[in-house]
Amino acid sequence: MTTTLLVPTYQHMLQTLSGLLDKAQQQMPDRAEALLAARLAPDMFPLAAQVRFAAFQAQEAVFRLRGERVAEWLDAIAAEGRNAGDAPGTIADAKERIDAALSFLANVSSGALDASTTLPIAIKLPGGMTFDMTGEQYARDWALPQFYFHVITAYAILRNRGVEIGKADYVPHMFAYLRPEAVAAS
């Protein structure tokens, strides 16, 4: 169940994030690149970091839930995120990170994460805090909330800076479940 829950969730929301960046470019062609340095608050990471952290989180979970050490190339993406205030890059760079994460997720085999529910996982944070969890707890209480935090923060930054987006832009994958009569009635 872990694979069928996490992988599609990450894929849907990374596609959403890519679509939000597309809207920013369409609506603000002269200012879209500057949005990458935008923050909700002075002590928060900018949009460029939120995108990189979302891409990192989606892939990190796969490594951890397979019981593997997180790859160095993936740690480099997290470092990019931490340094995004000084080097935000371009919208193309951000979309490239999203596309790479989507490609990575597309290659996760069916059931690859399902045996991980009881796998012990330790999350070590700067400052010496360590959280010990099972794979199930990690997926539910850390991996998904962390991922969603970065996606929704990116959404909030874009919305705050004037990009015209709404709920339909945040959950476009939901239209696959829309009853046909609802479309005919509108």
CA distance 54 to 35: 17
Phi, psi dihedral angles at 37 (to 5 degrees): -95, -5
Mean pLDDT value across the chain:
94
pTM, two decimal places: 0.93
* Helix or strand run (H / E) with residue 178: none
Secondary structure (DSSP) of 98-158: HHHHHHHHHTSPTTTTGGGTT-EEEEE-TTS-EEEEEHHHHIIIIIHHHHHHHHHHHHHHH
Question: pLDDT tier at 160 (50, 70, 90 boundaries)?
Answer: very high
Per-residue pLDDT averaged across 33-40, rounded?
96
What amino acid occupies position 152? I
CATH dotted code for 2-185: 1.20.120.450
pLDDT tens track for 52-103:
999 999 999 999 999 999 999 999 999 999 999 999 999 999 999 999 999 9
The residue extents of the domains of the chain are 2-185
According to DSSP, residue 89 is labeled: -
Structure token digits, residue 51: 């995108």
Q: Is the pLDDT of residue 1 over 90?
A: no
